[in-house]
Amino acid sequence: MSWYAIGAVDRALSRTREALLEPFDFWKWVKLAIITFLLGGVSSYGNTSNYNIGSGDLKNNFSFIEPGQMPDLPFDMHSIAFGYIYQVPHLATVAALIISLIILVLIFSYISSIMEFVFVESLVRNEVKFWAYSRKFLGKGFRLLLVRLVFGLVFLALFGLSLLPLIPVIREVPSDFSLPASLGGFLWIVGVIIVLIMLAVAINSLLSLAIPLAIYRNKGILSAFKLVLGNFRKSWREVIVYWFVRLLLDIGITILAIFLFVLVVLVLGIAFLIFDVALYFLFSSLLSDFLLWLLLIPFIVIELILVMGTLFFLGVPLSVFLKYHLLSFLEAWYENAEIPFFDAPALEPEVKVDEPEPSF
């Protein structure tokens, strides 16, 4: 068995150095930072509210009614009727907010899917053409989004099906707390979530390997995914080693990223704090508190933007290295990947040999 994942580490380091430092191009780093930022994805959540009208238990409110007696209702029917009517705009607002959030998530997910192809093409060609590549991969990005949505719905359905065995247990549990039944159900749910997460990570990894094949083999994303699955069946041990190496690399990259984050925040934070304090004392005797903070707030906003921009800028080599590792592994693992790397050796021109003229 060949250790493609381990050999790809050295190749990824070499390609990262050549792409980012030979020569150093500031605007290339900036464009790659924007791409990696857009690759980050978006998460959102929604809150639901319960509307409680009236007070007390209705059964207790009617317990004093005698047969044939018209009850003296302890609540205003007029206010209840109009209370439900007043809820309709609120429900419509909540529904509109939820729909808006879903649309935003889909839009940013679509952008992230396009950036998957843009990032690969930029690194393979060693040339970042943000808008040209984005227009080029609008269709492939949309199909990748659809595939991911289908996989997400499948995993959601699997999670729902995994809860079906708990329904009889929940019905049999008495109203008082039962530790064994509750603990068993909790462990079952945790186990199902862990299995689904591992399966989702594995499928997402294979899908990432399919993206370069979709580009350079001119395939649809599903066709490329089938090619990866077919090769996985033949050499699944190599992929297991690749996943293990990626886990180690991810841990190392995370530790390095945390170190860079703390270092940047400390250095720039202390420098900006000294600047802001000096600015505060310089103008405190000349301006009122309101005008002083009106002067400081734009500086603080700019400083935060500079800190975040620096973090993304320094994170470029880490993201580039991980993607080059994936591409280098795919190049060695999949025989006919046909990835036209920028550092591929130039093909020697064919030498034509003059054939002797036939003698009659």
> Distance between CA 315 and CA 86 in Å, rounded?
50
Q: d(Cα 150, Cα 270) in Å, to the nearest integer?
A: 47
Buried b (16+ CB within 10 A) or exposed e, 105-125: eeebbbbbbbbbbbbbbbbbe
| Long-range contacts (CB closer than 8 Å, 24 or more residues apart) made by 26-32 | 28/128, 29/313, 29/316, 30/313, 31/122, 31/128, 31/130, 32/119, 32/122, 32/128, 32/316, 32/319, 32/320
Q: Taking the mean position of all CA atoms in its chain, how far away is CA 238?
A: 26
Domain boundaries along the sequence of the chain: 4-45+78-333
Q: Looking at residues 342-350, what average pLDDT do you find? A: 62
Q: What is the pLDDT of residue 162?
A: 84
Stretch among 89-103, 127-141, 208-222, 335-349 having the lowest mean pLDDT:
335-349
Residues 6+ apart with CB under 8 A from 93: none
Query: What are the φ/ψ torsions at residue 194 (nearest 5 degrees)?
Result: -60, -45
pLDDT computed for residue 79 by the predictor: 53
Q: What are 34-54's pLDDT values in tens digits? A: 999 998 833 333 333 343 434
Q: Kindly report the average pLDDT of the chain as a whole number.
A: 81
Cα-atom radius of gyration of the chain, to the nearest Å?
Answer: 31
Of 16-20, 144-148, 186-190, 225-229, which range is least confident?
186-190
SS3 24: strand
Chain centroid to CA 273: 33
Asked if residue 357 has pLDDT above 90, the reply is no
Contact (CB, 8 A) for 53 and 80: yes
Instruction: Determine the pLDDT at residue 288.
Output: 78
pLDDT at 346: 57
Asked if residues 296 and 279 have their Cβ atoms less than 8 Å apart, the reply is: yes
Directed axis angle between helix 236-283 and helix 4-21, to 10°?
40
Q: Which pLDDT score is estimated for 89?
A: 63
Residue 224 has pLDDT above 90, yes or no: yes
Q: Report the distance separating Cα 331 and Cα 120, nearest Å.
A: 13
> Mean pLDDT throughout 141-147?
95
Q: Which of 278, 311, 294, 312 lies closest to 270, judged by CA?
A: 278
Q: Are 354 and 289 in contact (CB under 8 A)?
A: no
Q: Above pLDDT 90, what percent of the chain?
A: 52
pLDDT in the model for residue 110: 95
Unique residue bearing structure tokens 């060695």 = 332
Query: Which of these, 212, 205, 213, 196, lies nearest to 250 by C-alpha position?
Result: 205
Residue type at position 315:
G
- In this prediction, residue 225 carries a pLDDT of 95
Q: Which residue has the higher pLDDT, 194 or 162?
A: 194
Range with the largest mean pLDDT of 186-200, 234-248, 269-283 = 234-248
**Average pLDDT score over residue span 72-89:** 51
Residue 151, burial from CB neighbour count under 10 angstroms (0-12, 13-18, 19+): middle
pLDDT band at 147 (very low <50, low <70, confident <90, very high): very high
**Which of 58-62, 88-92, 265-269, 309-313 is least confident?**
58-62
pLDDT at 32: 94
pLDDT tens-digit readout, 242-291: 999 999 999 999 999 999 899 998 999 899 889 888 888 888 777 777 78
Over residues 205-233, the mean pLDDT reads 94
Q: What is the reported pLDDT for 109?
A: 93
Which whole number is the average pLDDT over 127-131? 93
Q: What is the mean pLDDT of residues 203-222?
A: 94
Q: What is the reported pLDDT for 199?
A: 93
Higher pLDDT, 4 or 288: 4
Q: What angle do CA 341, 129, 249 make, to 5 degrees?
A: 55
Least confidently predicted of 231-235, 253-257, 258-262, 296-300 = 296-300
Which residues is 24 bridged to in the sheet? 21
Is residue 148 over pLDDT 50?
yes
Mean pLDDT score, 60-86:
48
- Least reliable range by pLDDT among 21-25, 39-43, 249-253, 330-334: 39-43
Lowest mean pLDDT among 57-66, 92-101, 130-139: 57-66
**213 vs 205: CA distance, rounded Å:** 13
Compute CA distances 76 → 81, 267, 322, whole Å: 9, 64, 66
Chain mean position to CA 245:
21
Of 177-181, 195-199, 200-204, 299-303, the least confident:
177-181
pLDDT at 353 exceeding the cut of 50: no
Nearest to 215 by CA among 118, 357, 98, 306: 118
